[in-house]
Amino acid sequence: MATMTAAQKRAQTKAEYDAFLAGCPSRKLLDRISDKWVALVLAALGSDGSHRFGADCAGEPWSMRYSELSRLLAGVSQKMLTQTLRSLERDGLITRTATPTVPVTVSYELTDLGLSLHQMMRGLKAWAETHMDDVLANRATYDTRDA
C-alpha cells in the first residue's frame, strides 16, 4: 500500500466532505452560516453603508464598528453579537482590528473568504424580503385549511 503525503491526505479528506453524512464537519459550518445573525452580519459588512439610508445592502464591502453593527441589527443582544463575531473571526470570515485609541476602537471587516460567502447571503436576505408577503399568505392558507 502506497503512503500518502499530508497534502494528498488533505485533498482526499476534502473530496470526501458530504454534508448529508452525520459525521461530516461541513454540517457544523452549514449550521453556523445558516444562523440569522451570521447572515445579517455578513450582509451588513458586505455593503457600502447605504443601508443606513434605506437602500439595499449592495456596494463595496467596508468595515464597521461593533456599535454600528449593534444599532443596525435591531434585536440582537450584546452577547449574541459578540458570539457571532467571534465565531466568524474564528472561521476566517471576518477580521477584527483594534485601534489603540481612548477608548479602544474595534472594527470588523470581511476577509476574502467572507466576501466569497457575502453574495449568497445578500441574495438570501433579498429573497426573504421580496417573498415575505407570499410566505405569509401561504401560512394563512395552510393555517385555515387545517383548522
Question: pLDDT tens across 112-144, in order?
Answer: 999 999 888 888 888 999 999 999 999 999 999
What is the reported pLDDT for 14? 63
Q: Give the orientation angle of helix 112-145 with respect to helix 36-45, to 10 degrees.
A: 130
Dihedrals φ, ψ of 86, to 5°?
-65, -40
Q: Is the pLDDT of residue 35 over 80?
A: yes
The reported pTM is: 0.75
Q: Is the pLDDT of residue 77 over 70?
A: yes
Q: Please, which pLDDT band fits residue 18 given cuts at 50, 70 and 90?
A: confident
